[in-house]
């Protein structure tokens, strides 16, 4: 199981509903990186947002161009502040979320004496009863219970940072209560609720855009990646294919094959492509202009997010909860992010993006894009780390293969620090070695240069 904080923060928010053919993710070009706590929100220039992203944000969230730029800039800044406060507050940290078109940030803590620190950093302080670590430990117990026996009629459970509770949704409250009791989780941490959700993986067995599996069916490309500096490919959903499954691209020409696939448990995979497919740092804009991917910094709860997929194109919404568990007919998936974005069969594997920051790939959901629905995405960073992949970005270049014997992670020191926002090409020292940043991101505890080769290259 991934590091708790890695699962917590890999939400890749603000997305775009696209992913097709030999596709890569795209977002905002020319947008400054979010600064540390207390800095001014990064500027978003008038021409930096893709027309397709603007149109989707206006349609789905009611934001005009100016409001969209203001909100995304605020969300970038909020993500950086929240990351810094998570490090500073330690075990009393109880989660972060944004609200409103200006992305006002609220950070929760169990220690009232830390309210002044939160306020000084530029966020609203909220004192609550349970730390995020405690709530996530309760959710982990539910996850372990589901691994041994998937719960019947309990489709979704997650940590709700706004409510400061673990929420368990069931077809009936009795089903949810029975699951909680079987997992041995205390009632004081849990809220049970009835839900009509019937989530399912969003693969489709009919032709269309994006890519096609050799055994039949269609899914959507997530983001362009490289492995070892020479092998090109893309990330997608694990339920779309197993290791060895061949793929054809949007033009129905031979494309590649699945090299790694995890499902259920998680929902990520990667496909290695042949020399005819060139990775681009783009997300398909479906006629409205492609979006350029510049990094993979995760967003917080409440942030806007857009999705791009081969069935329904671009759709936007907001991040509702991080580190969610959802039960599909095939089994339980943990560590996904719950959103208000709609999706339909065939959108699986497609890109979720926040501004220009890659967030994850479409996993599954319920509802549709006519009546609305709930969709879950698999955060990107665990997939990159699991398979040793590097996200292709607009300034990424072609990194070399990470070292096979990184320096020990128990020798901190150096200039690297959690809570710091790093741009592509930035250099740090850690454990007596030097590293170059491969992907723009805000560093989290546990994401040390030696431990995460998807983000850092030893030099």
List the one residue out of 232, 274, 234 whose CA is nearest residue 398: 232
Contact between 367 and 344 (Cβ < 8 Å): no
Beta strands 304-309; 16-17: pairing state: parallel
DSSP code of 64? -
H-only helix segments in 153-300:
173-183
Structure tokens belonging to residue 246: 């061949």
Geometric angle at alpha carbon 376, from 258 and 227, rounded to 5°: 30
Catalytic residue list contains 239: yes
Catalytic residue list contains 267: yes
CA dist., res. 17 & res. 202, Å (int): 13
**CA distances, 184 to each of 72, 138, 189, 195, 325 (Å):** 40, 9, 11, 22, 17
Q: Of the listed 130, 239, 315, 441, which one is catalytic?
A: 239
Catalytic residue list contains 92: no
CA neighbours closer than 13 Å in the CB half-sphere of residue 206? 7
Q: What's the sign of the alpha-carbon dihedral 345, 359, 268, 264?
A: negative
Q: Of the listed 50, 261, 299, 348, which one is catalytic?
A: 348
DSSP code string of 297-344: ----BT-EEEEEETTTEEEEEEEEEEEEEEEETTEEEEEEEEES----
Q: Of the listed 60, 140, 267, 347, which one is catalytic?
A: 267
Structure tokens belonging to residue 5: 């904080």
Query: What residues pair up with 436 in beta bridges, in sequence order?
Result: 427, 457
Element (DSSP H or E) covering residue 88: helix 65-89
Collapsing DSSP to helix, strand or coil, 51 comes out as: helix
CA dist., res. 32 & res. 378, Å (int): 26
Contact between 30 and 294 (Cβ < 8 Å): no
**CA distances, 222 to each of 214, 236, 238, 410 (Å):** 18, 5, 11, 34
Tell me the catalytic residues: 239, 267, 348
């Amino acid at each position: 199981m991934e590091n708790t904080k890695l699962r917590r923060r890999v939400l890749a928010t603000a997305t775009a509903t696209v992913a097709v053919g030999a596709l890569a993710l795209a977002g905002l070009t020319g947008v400054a990186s979010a600064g540390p706590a207390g800095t001014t929100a990064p500027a978003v220039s008038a021409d930096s947002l893709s027309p397709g992203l603007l149109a989707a944000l206006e349609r789905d969230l009611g934001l005009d161009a100016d409001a969209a730029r203001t909100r995304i800039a605020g969300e970038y800044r909020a993500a950086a502040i929240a990351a810094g406060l998570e490090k500073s507050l330690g075990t009393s940290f109880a989660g972060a979320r944004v609200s409103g078109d200006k992305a006002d940030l609220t950070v929760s803590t169990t220690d009232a004496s830390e309210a002044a620190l939160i306020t000084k950093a530029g966020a609203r302080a909220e004192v609550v009863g349970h730390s995020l670590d405690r709530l996530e430990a309760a959710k982990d117990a539910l996850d372990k219970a589901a691994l041994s026996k998937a719960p019947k009629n309990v489709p979704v459970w997650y940590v709700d940072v706004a409510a400061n509770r673990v929420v368990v949704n069931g077809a009936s409250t009795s089903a949810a209560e029975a699951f909680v009791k079987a997992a041995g989780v205390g009632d004081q941490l849990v809220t049970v609720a009835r839900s009509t959700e019937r989530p399912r993986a969003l693969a489709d067995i009919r032709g269309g855009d994006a890519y096609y599996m050799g055994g039949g069916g269609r899914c959507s490309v997530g983001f362009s990646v490289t492995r070892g500096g020479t092998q090109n490919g893309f990330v997608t959903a694990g339920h779309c294919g197993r290791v060895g499954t061949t793929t054809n691209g949007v033009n129905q020409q031979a494309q590649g094959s699945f090299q790694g696939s995890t499902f259920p448990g998680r929902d990520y995979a990667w496909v290695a492509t042949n020399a005819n497919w060139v990775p681009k740092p783009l997300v398909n804009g479906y006629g409205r202009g492609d979006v350029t991917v510049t990094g993979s910094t995760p967003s917080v709860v409440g942030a806007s997010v857009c999705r791009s997929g081969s069935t329904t194109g671009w759709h936007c919404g907001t991040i509702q909860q991080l580190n969610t568990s959802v039960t599909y007919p095939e089994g339980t998936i943990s560590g996904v992010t719950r959103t208000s974005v709609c999706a339909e069969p065939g959108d699986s594997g497609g890109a979720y993006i926040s501004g220009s920051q890659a967030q994850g790939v479409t996993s599954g959901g319920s509802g549709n894009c006519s009546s609305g629905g709930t969709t879950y995405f698999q955060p990107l960073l665990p997939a990159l780390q699991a398979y040793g992949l590097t996200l292709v970005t607009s300034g990424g270049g072609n990194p070399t293969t990470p070292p096979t014997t990184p320096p020990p992670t128990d020798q901190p020191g150096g200039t690297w620090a959690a809570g710091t926002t790093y741009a592509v090409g930035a250099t740090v020292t850690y454990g007596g070695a030097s590293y170059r940043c491969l992907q723009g991101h805000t560093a989290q505890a546990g994401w040390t240069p030696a431990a995460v080769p998807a983000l850092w290259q030893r030099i």
